[in-house]
Amino acid sequence: MIRLEPQHRADKRREVISIEHLWAGYDQEAVLKDINLSVRELDFIGLIGPNGGGKTTLLKVLLGLLQPTQGKVRVMGKSIREGRRYIGYVPQSVEFDQDFPIKVWDVVRMGRLGRRRLLQRYTAEDDEIVMEAVQSVDMLNLLDRPIGALSGGQRQRVYIARALATEPEILLLDEPMSSVDPQVSNNVYELLRQLNERITILMVTHDMSVISSYVKTVGCLNRRLFYHGGKQITPDMLEAAYQCPIDLIAHGVSHRVFPEHMPPTNAKDPQRATEPPKTLSAPASGEWSH
Amino acid sequence: MIEVWTLFIRVIEALQFGFMRNALIAGVLISIACGIIGTFVVIKRIVFISGGIAHAAYGGIGLGYYLKTNPVLGAIVFSLAAAFGMGMVQRKTRQRTDTIIGVMWAIGMALGIILVDLTEGYKADLMSYLFGSILAVPGSDLWVMLALDLVIVALVASFYKELLAVSFDETFAMVENVPVDTIYVILLCMIALTVVMLMRVVGLIMVIALLTIPAAISGHFVKDMRKMMTLASILGVIFTTTGLWLSYFLNLTSGATIILVAGSTYLLSLAVKPLTRQRHVVNEAGGR
């Protein structure tokens, strides 16, 4: 297997997350192996990878929900327990109780929990910040809606607003569009791009087509992390991550994630790269499985 | 007209009895706890663990008989211990937690039965703990119920934002440094106390029904946790009062009658629910 160290660019931007030689997993099995990643201010990184490749595990480590077995992780130069208050977490919205008695306003206000101790009430300042967060995702007119009465895209906006209400330096998104149709997800990604003007974003996803047009850099995660700090997914990254040749669809998006004239079957033979690009084979929905 | 008048006279007569007044007051007092705690049981989907706590409390009843002390004290100790134990198992082990909780549930009950077997002499009131006897609630118990209500209201009001967060999205609450385990144990202990209160009225076996049904119905109609608690408490009062009068006039077991009133209302609300859903969808479509 090819091992690729993350490229250390000469970068003056502040490092917001640093992961060095991280190993993590459940019971005796390591799911993440020797992960190295440096996230810098205003990065917009998309991590893709197969199911079971460790995307969720990596998020759990960053959120302090899973103790790494080895390695060092710093968030804003601090330990995870201290540093995670700079992280705004946007969960998957798949498992969800439609009947839960809660309104948009109350969900977003949960973002203020970290700033208030037990027995302390929310303040007027909290309400102001919640209001701003709701406004920035354009949901003001639905404040009093029960969360179960929202569409998938609206709900995702609410979760983003909740993350914003924590006043984060970094947004961490887990499969943000897994239950949302493409039209709507483009709107939400556009929102993320705007937010990225002031907030660093790290996102794990299946959805390659969107990754290509909205994120700044891409990595592949399958137990190990293949990240060059570049925008394109190279064939060797993919082969290393998925352990079999995979073609990509780049239907109708402005940027190709896959360099042209380089069918992955010939990845190691650049001489033959003049062949017309072969695309298609991965399912369009972005469900990756062998 | 005359029949209504006779009924009225009989109600007035019944109210002359101290036990009837006590029973009605007890119904109101437990309904408050039921509405508040039942809402958490329903939305957090911990009906099973609540049932476990209720049944394990029987071990405490047995212990009370065996040691010749007040069985209610035993039930309080056992249900709190079950709440801690089951809560820990659920949070800390990666075993099949529902199996372990089921086992603890059964052991608690079995222990109670054996301890009662070992107790010499006449076992007064034993059945009332299993099947309830709201008509036998003494005045002193009403004060205990009031105190427990106040404790529950105070705790829920103090930890409202954390309880809501832990119920809605535990992972997020954890990331926000909410002491999720502590809040969860507090919730389970409140369930344990509510179980002991309800035991006098409907009995341990049917506790879970009165804990869940009012909240479940309420959840069909309101989408805000505070309102859900309030409506559930009001429904609880209606169910206990109606059930009590029915059992008085028809000479039936009070606990079971209350549960049947609540249960049939629940089934009715299930039938009505699709209608309200539809209206909601129409509203949404109209709003855009």
Q: Is the dihedral of CA A65, A70, A76, A77 positive or negative?
A: positive
- Chain B contact for A100 (CB, 8 A cutoff): yes
What is the set of domains in chain B, with CATH numbers?
Answer: 2-207 (1.10.3470.10)
Contacts of A113 in chain B (CB under 8 A): 161-162, 165, 173, 176-178
Contact A173, A145 (CB under 8 A): no
Task: Decide if A277 touches B, using CB distance below 8 A.
Answer: no
Would you say residue A95 has pLDDT above 70? Answer: no
| pLDDT (tens digit per residue) in A167-219 | 999 999 988 777 677 777 888 888 999 999 999 999 988 776 666 678 888 88
Could you say which of B43, B165, B169 has the minimum Cβ distance to residue A101?
B43
SS (H, E, C) B74-128: HHHHHHHHHHHHHHHHHHHCCCCHHHHHHHHHHHHHHHHHHHHHHCCCCCCCHHH
A81, with CB counted inside 10 A (0-12, 13-18, 19+), is exposed
Which residues on B lie below 8 Å from A116 (Cβ)? 161
Q: Rg (Cα) of chain B, in Å, rounded?
A: 20
Across chain B, what does the average pLDDT equal? 90
pLDDT-derived band at B83, boundaries 50, 70, 90? very high
Task: Quickly state the pLDDT bin for A288 (edges 50, 70, 90).
Answer: very low
Task: Count CA atoms within 13 Å of residue B170 on its CB side.
Answer: 12
Here the ipTM equals 0.86
| pLDDT tens profile B235-249 | 999 999 999 999 999
DSSP per-residue string spanning B126-146? HHHHHH--GGG--HHHHHHHH
pLDDT at B80 over 90: yes
Percent of chain A surpassing pLDDT 90: 43
**Phi, psi at residue A260, to the nearest 5°?**
-70, 165
In terms of Cα–Cα distance, which of A125, A114, A127 is closest to A163? A114
The predicted structure's pLDDT at residue A28: 78
> Which chain B residue's Cα is nearest to A147?
B223
pTM, entire model? 0.84
Residue B2 binned pLDDT confidence (cut-offs 50, 70, 90): confident
Contact call for B176 and A114, based on CB within 8 A: yes
pLDDT for A278: 39
Express each pLDDT in A117-158 by its tens digit: 888 999 999 999 999 999 999 899 999 999 999 988 889 899
Cα A275 from Cα A34, distance rounded (Å): 36
Q: What DSSP string runs through A257-270?
A: SS-TT--GGGTT-G
For residue B188, give both structure tokens.
């389970």
What pLDDT, on a 0 to 100 scale, did the predictor assign at position A158? 93
pLDDT at B277: 59
Question: At the topology level of CATH, where does A15-96+167-272 sit?
Answer: Rossmann fold (3.40.50)
Give the three-state DSSP class for A35: strand
CB nearest B172 (choices: A110, A121, A149)? A110
pLDDT of residue A4: 47
Return d(Cα B129, Cα A139) in angstroms, integer: 52
Q: Identify the CA nearest to B235 among candidates B256, B253, B219, B251.
A: B219
**What are the sequence ranges of the domains in chain A?**
15-96+167-272
For residue A57, give the H/E element and its range.
helix A55-62
Q: Per 3-state DSSP, what percentage of chain B is helix, strand, and coil (rounded to 5)?
A: 85, 0, 15
Residue B232 pLDDT > 90, yes or no?
Answer: yes
Nearest residue to A185 (alpha-carbon basis) of A211, A221, A217? A211
Half-sphere exposure of A22 (CA within 13 A, CB side): 28
Chain A residue at shortest CA distance from B160: A119
Q: What distance in Å separates the CA atoms of residue A254 and residue A267, rounded to the nearest whole number? A: 23
Please tell me which of the candidates B43, B172, B280 has its beta carbon nearest to residue A91. Answer: B172
SS3 content of chain A, % helix, strand, coil (to 5): 35, 20, 45
Distance from CA of B238 to the nearest CA of A (A): 22
Q: Which secondary-structure segment (H or E) carries A90?
A: strand A87-90
